[in-house]
Amino acid sequence: MKRKDNVQKINHLAVLNPGGPMVQVFILEAIRQYSDEVLAAGRPDEAGRALINPAAWYDCADSLARELKNLETAQ
């Protein structure tokens, strides 16, 4: 079986999973909660020898948190 890329994995979990709509809510809440935790830790300093740049990780959390808030207020 061919290995799934990240988009395929997300689609599989959120859409094709037999858990149904509750799984989608769980995934959204997990993203919201983790984004909030990353932002609460504050913007990191230099990346040092990190595999993933901490500032980029923080920016990703910030972007996702803002987008989720925008989606909530748009409804």
Q: What pTM was computed for the model?
A: 0.79
Asked if the model's pLDDT at residue 12 lies above 90, the reply is no
Q: Name the DSSP class of 63.
A: H
Q: Which of 20-24, 56-60, 62-66 has the lowest mean pLDDT?
A: 20-24
What confidence tier does 34 reach under pLDDT thresholds 50, 70, 90?
Answer: very high
**How far lies 48's CA from each of 43, 53, 75, in Å?**
14, 8, 41
**Residue 55 burial by CB count (10 A; 0-12/13-18/19+): exposed, middle or buried?**
middle
For 25-61, give the DSSP string: HHHHHHHHHHHHHHHHT------TT-SS-HHHHHHHH
Q: At which residue do the structure tokens 């979990």 appear?
A: 13
Mean pLDDT of 30-59: 89
**Cα 68 from Cα 74, distance rounded (Å):** 10
